Structure 1
């Protein structure tokens, strides 16, 4: 897929929004179902083992869909998505974290999340 421009990464994020929103819901379902299936877990109206397996499978499908765009899924709770880019000759990752309204952060590829800065 190569490197992303800021504009292209923002378009990709816009295109992924409904999938990312679904991911948050299914992730919560997986956690609730997992708790209900463990010893002493509270019953849930979401179902049982078949629903848990289906939700897990859907999460895996969604992770693949994100990565097929060329984005890197770095975290799932919270969701953290990076797009490889070049900013003034420096390798960076354009960085979006669940809850952020738009793509406005980046970090150098060698520094990781702790080195996040606002896009110029």
Structure 2
């Protein structure tokens, strides 16, 4: 049901779908619905072009990064100090950033000029 909020054509339609979702699930999850409706930035992604909305509300990029960290730290048994762990993680952040620096996420290539104009 909540996917319909993200698939809405515009912000007004998303608000309607959100209210429908809240009405359908309020009895089952009253606290969750109450907290969800209090979120002022919940529909901020609707202010962006439709081509990139999925990338904005999805957690795929974060999950991919976490998977990278798990893969690289799996072979390490332990770290002698907390500082060594920090240095290792920063090096992994840099490696990941360098690897994905040239990569353009789906939908962003055609809107690059528009997004640059919006944020510069």
TM over 0.5: no
Structure with greater proportional strand content: 1
When normalised by structure 1's length, the TM-score is 0.31
From the CA coordinates, give the structure whose radius of gyration is larger. Answer: 2
Structure with greater proportional helix content: 2
When normalised by structure 2's length, the TM-score is 0.31
